[in-house]
Structure 1
């Protein structure tokens, strides 16, 4: 079950029970992960902001900042994905965890053979979510930075019944195929539309002679 050394994800493990924390940290290290342990929510939040782990494993019930509050802070301020390892599986707690964006919820006790597959699934989902967020950020920046690109995307959306992301992907794909900048292709599209609209105008601008 060892993970290749060239791809060792960094995990942040949080549990106020120091024996559980030490045991889980050791097991995960032996499974091939890089692991940072934290005995409290407060310390974990500081470490998450500083070290930017790939995934955090959170206990729910801890003195001071509990795991639910920590998950909320991680989601809002760090972008670090997380899931829960807890001895408690009440429906209301699981619901709160899901509302704050947890990638999973496992009820202890668990052995390492059960935890590792869940970690790998969570890491895979986290990568996909990051890819989508990055893509959305790229799209937002492109549309905000260029009126022509924004208008061209809107045109493609209307004519092809596409969502904004799909329209931008189509515009970018055409630009890459032609080895051109997206901005240049957008300008050409708009110019062609203006020409078509001009030629479609009736003679004399549609004004009848008396």
Structure 2
């Protein structure tokens, strides 16, 4: 079973040592840093499943580090702080924090919060993937529609005939319809000749 990797960042060495030791003993892979900038660099290199960041650190704050980790690496964050501060909680929430714990914390308190955050991070990743797949499908369908429209206009064809002509040609070249449509719509230097080639092929193979 894959071990989850946790990035822990805290400028207090005693707290950092206690947390990293406890999480390692609990079976997690742990990488650690003592300031925000190092946390970002380490996180982007190690690609942890979750970042556990102290909010107040030298250099850049935990909130700033979380912003960079999320934007550049898609890494989710659970925050630690010695302060139960409403404004801090609001700032952490705006940066997409999956949780907020007030120090001191022990391993028994951390593990349930980490497991809940990891599950939420996985759910968010799956949601982002679904959104990406949907946007990709919409884009591909748009290109197919545009290619069909251009064919209709150039060769005075109805929509069904234009679609079948492009699909028939794609099959003859072992191309996906979306791939051929992308070439027809986006590759301006070849699309005129390619449209004519599709038209001639369709005349011969109807």
- Say whether the fold is shared (TM-score over 0.5): yes
Cα offset, 1:144, TM superposition: 0.9
Structure 1 unaligned blocks of 5 or more: 1-5, 152-180, 184-210
Aligned equivalent of 2:73: 78
Report the CA distance shift for 1:98/1:149 in structure 2 as closer, same or farther (over 3 A). Answer: farther
Q: Where does structure 2 lack aligned partners over 5 or more consecutive residues?
A: 147-175, 179-206
Cα deviations across residues 76-123 of structure 1 (Å, max 9, x unaligned)? 221100111111111000000000000000001111111100000000
RMSD: 1.8
User: For residue 87 of structure 1, what is the aligned residue in structure 2?
Assistant: 82
Q: Under a length normalisation based on structure 1, what TM-score does the superposition of the two structures give?
A: 0.67
SS of alignment partner, residue 64 of structure 1? coil
The residue that corresponds to 1:47 in the other structure is 42
> Which residue of structure 1 aligns with residue 92 of structure 2?
97
Would you say how many aligned residue pairs link Structure 1 and Structure 2? 149
One of 54, 62, 67 as aligned partner of 1:59: 54
Cα pair distance change 1:127/1:19, threshold 3 Å = same
Match for residue 102 of structure 2? Answer: 107
With over 3 angstroms needed to count, the CA separation of the structure-2 counterparts of 1:9 and 1:143, relative to structure 1, is same
Alignment of 1:25-174 (within 5 A): 25-147=20-142
Provide the C-alpha distance between the structure 1 equivalents of 2:41 and 2:62, rounded to a whole number of angstroms. 14
Secondary structure at 2:48's aligned position in 1? coil
Off by >6 Å, runs of 4+ in structure 1 = 148-151
